[in-house]
Amino acid sequence: MTSTVFRIGGDLEVRRLGFGAMHLPTEVGPARESALTVARRAVELGVTLIDTAHLYGGGANEELLAEALYPYPDGLVITTKVGVAPSGPRREWKVDGRPAVLRAQVEHALHRLRVERIELLQLHRIDPETPLADQLGTLRDLRVEGKVGRIGLSEVTVSELDQARQFVDVASVQNRYNLLDREHEPVLTACERAGIAFLPWRPVAAGTSGTKAEIAAVASEVGATPTQVALAWLLNRSPVMLPIPGTARVDHLEENLAAEGVDLTPVQRARLDRLHEPA
């Protein structure tokens, strides 16, 4: 039977099927009220891992989650990401891993989320223009100071993961991965070997008519939706897989979380596995 929980860093237990908050509207008005409802409903349905980032509205997404959920229930983990900042006269968002920027974004996140410690902090991207030792050294210092519990990475290669682990204990990796896009399969394998949580972003993706037909066929067989099949496949794919599907609608949220109850047979999983194989 597939486990429904995972311990990030070996000790931080979360439900494997989480929620990505990126799509929640933050502007004042009815859309924001709906976003607050979605976030609260996620927790009502047992979500214990919510993903956000400084990039999402320059911290507005973090503020939204705090407004919706603070004071937080026991066991809820809100993970955020730092390392992307507005730059230049046009204030365009760019990767920025300078120590002062990382430290400032963590301090802002602590304030916006209304917490004294971020249990899981992820580096949104590795900055190629800043020494890796300086980027991870800053996050390590913040952990020593008690402001960060565990350190993760996002969009990294196996080589970058190996290099990072020379400086810090890496608790999680957040890379793009889904049923039809498995470019980062080697990274997933490396995470499995090391017991590192793998948080696939964009966990559900549209495919060609042929792949859609096969996914739809499996969905019909198990009495589920194609989206639920895609998420169920991820949960079956690896014990370190922690999908974080995002939505701004309660009905989609409920559909996503119900994927945990979808049982795929070995034959059905094999059929889905083959969708990625070259023609």
pLDDT band at 211 (very low <50, low <70, confident <90, very high): confident
pLDDT band at 276 (very low <50, low <70, confident <90, very high): confident
Given a cut of 60, whether residue 36 has pLDDT beyond it is yes
Q: Pick the residue with more confidence: 91 or 170?
A: 170
- Evaluate if pTM is beyond 0.85: yes
Q: Pick the residue with more confidence: 101 or 212?
A: 101
Dig out the tokens for 106 from the structure. 């963590």
Return the H-helix or E-strand segment holding 158.
helix 158-164
Given a cut of 90, whether residue 205 has pLDDT beyond it is no
Catalytic residue among 56, 70, 72, 177: 56
Which residue, 139, 154, 138, is CA-closest to 196?
154
* DSSP-derived secondary structure letter, 274: G
Q: What is the pLDDT of residue 208?
A: 65
CB atoms within 10 A of CB 249: 13
CB atoms within 10 A of CB 120: 25
Cα separation, 163 vs 106, in Å, equals 23
Domains in the chain, ordered, with CATH?
A: 5-206+239-261 (3.20.20.100)
Chain centroid offset of residue 6 CA:
14
Note if 72 is an active site residue: no
